[in-house]
Amino acid sequence: MVLLAIFLFSILSLSRAGTSTQIGVNYGQLGNNLPSPRQSIELLKAMKVQSVKLYDANPEILNLLSSTKFQVSIMVANHEISGIATNQSIADEWVRNNVLPYYPETSIRFLLVGNEILSYYTEEARQMWLDLVPAMRRIKKSLRAQSIRDIRVGTPLAMDVLQSSFPPSNAMFRSDIRESVMKPMLRFLDRTESFFFVDVYPYFPWSSNSYNISLDFALFRGNSSVIDPGTGLIYTNLLDQMLDSLIFAMSKLGYPNIRLVIAETGWPNSGDIAEPGANIFNAATYNRNLVQRMSAEPRIGTPARPGVAIPTFIFSLFDENQKPGLVTERHWGLLHPDGTPIYEIDLTGIRAMSDSAPLPAAENNVQYKGKAWCVAVKGANLTELAAALSSACEGNGTCEALAPGKECYQPVSITWHASYAFSSYWAKSKSKGATCYFNGLAKQTTRNPSRDSCNFPSVTL
């Protein structure tokens, strides 16, 4: 009986391996309340994930992973790229310090050089653009020198590497990187049989254009379809459209066959008023449908590449409370920081989720239109709030109304003054990209906090 069980188990595991799911998870650690690496890896095991992607080469995590079967993706930090690009010894040292101590016990499969570096536009970053492919080549050379051939070298890019993406057959890489970066990169990926790693979020185009793109199309439950007039290909979901636009852009540079890996995708489970559609219902729907689609047998692929597998990493394992920016940034997790699931999901794709507990109804699927203010959150640390207040007031004219005797001076409290300052700063600087965040001390509100003669500046969403 025991023998039979073992026999059956090995057949099952063999067939599972043959039809292995394509789903991995990004393990980000930008939280001060997350489980330990050991506990996190146990959680990943319990979720039956087969691949895990890290944002560094954390020694503790890589050691822990050596006793597991996870396929692992590690990352060179952005600031290390230029050094590696100019000096082979630095590349060799990186591989010696970050790969050799763990490999092959830890199944490192992808070595990613930097993260979305073509999405930064400072002068320093532009130098890094030019260093990116040379750094990838040097890392590959270091691996070869160690006779390591099964680690693919790549770099995750965001969709903003495209200057146009619709319809997919019209897509092209941005002109500022097309010849100087993308062409040599594609040549490298092609010659080394690596992948084009892309961070692809249907959430972003949908949420910034929710009038023209249907939510169903973004969540893979559309019954409508969009035809690309250039090719006649029919699209039933936004992810396919985005992926094919990359395939067409690569084809135009002469590389039609480089395989894709989705280095990040997902949907936020919570957000602020200006972030429509960020809720548990949509996050669960997107990720469940994604998993079903990506692990379906036979493979579905995309309209431009039917039947071709696309390994996929969901972003992210946990909600990470120290990610800056919009509220959604801190709510991409599958799990709460205490390790409990935010919603049920079967990452093997075997279980259709029809028998799961009902999801909370989505209440914010429509873009909020109107005025908004930015106020201090309840219970914020007063020392930190005072510091944020003074930095928000640095710009000319932001806090004049808070001066003694002026209309917003009373009541004299840090919370009141900070709320005014945050609203005023946001109103002045939102067009330059400022967000209502202030290190988590601020939140957006649609309730006008003004009183008596004190008028809070507002933004119009």
Task: Determine, following the binding rule CB under 6 A, whether residue 90 of this chain makes contact with ligand NAG.
Answer: yes
Catalytic residue among 179, 193, 264, 394: 264
Measured distance CA(262)–CA(457) in Å, rounded: 41
Q: Is 129 within 8 Å of 180 (Cβ atoms)?
A: yes
Task: Determine, following the binding rule CB under 6 A, whether residue 325 of this chain makes contact with ligand NAG.
Answer: no
The residues, any chain, with a CB within 8 Å of residue 1's CB and separated by 6 or more, are none
> Which of the stretches 44-52, 83-91, 132-140, 442-450 binds ligand NAG when contact is defined by CB under 6 A?
83-91
Measured distance CA(384)–CA(233) in Å, rounded: 54
Measured distance CA(56)–CA(27) in Å, rounded: 10
Q: Of 284, 266, 112, which Cα lies nearest the Cα of 189?
A: 112
Q: What angle do CA 90, 96, 97 make, to 5 degrees?
A: 90
> Which of the stretches 85-93, 114-122, 158-166, 355-363 binds ligand NAG when contact is defined by CB under 6 A?
85-93
Q: What are phi and psi of 104, to 5 degrees?
A: -95, 0
Nearer to ligand NAG, 88 or 251 (CB): 88
Token pair for residue 140?
């590959």
Q: In what order do the strands lie in the sheet with 442-445?
A: 442-445, 371-376, 459-460
Q: Pattern 395-414, binding to ligand NAG, x per CB under 6 A?
A: xx------------------
Q: Is 261 within 8 Å of 110 (Cβ atoms)?
A: yes
| Nearest-approach distance from CB 145 to ligand NAG, in angstroms | 15
| Nearest-approach distance from CB 231 to ligand NAG, in angstroms | 20
| Nearest-approach distance from CB 461 to ligand NAG, in angstroms | 14
Would you call 264 a catalytic residue per the annotation?
A: yes
Q: Is 196 within 8 Å of 154 (Cβ atoms)?
A: yes
- Contacts of ligand NAG in 370-399 (CB under 6 A): 381, 383-384, 395-396
Nearer to ligand NAG, 72 or 81 (CB): 81
Token pair for residue 422?
């945050």
Q: Pattern 213-252, binding to ligand NAG, x per CB under 6 A?
A: ----------x-----------------------------
Task: Note the Cα 461 to chain centre separation in Å.
Answer: 24
Measured distance CA(171)–CA(252) in Å, rounded: 9
Task: Determine, following the binding rule CB under 6 A, whether residue 32 of this chain makes contact with ligand NAG.
Answer: no
| Nearest-approach distance from CB 3 to ligand NAG, in angstroms | 52
Task: Determine, following the binding rule CB under 6 A, whether residue 87 of this chain makes contact with ligand NAG.
Answer: yes
Measured distance CA(267)–CA(275) in Å, rounded: 12
Q: Is 277 within 8 Å of 222 (Cβ atoms)?
A: no
Would you call 116 a catalytic residue per the annotation?
A: yes
| Nearest-approach distance from CB 401 to ligand NAG, in angstroms | 17
Nearer to ligand NAG, 66 or 146 (CB): 146
The residues, any chain, with a CB within 8 Å of residue 369's CB and separated by 6 or more, are 461
How many residues bind ligand NAG (CB under 6 A)? The answer is 11
Nearer to ligand NAG, 344 or 384 (CB): 384
| Nearest-approach distance from CB 386 to ligand NAG, in angstroms | 10
Where does this chain bind ligand NAG (CB under 6 A)?
87, 89-90, 209, 212, 223, 381, 383-384, 395-396
Catalytic residues: 116, 264
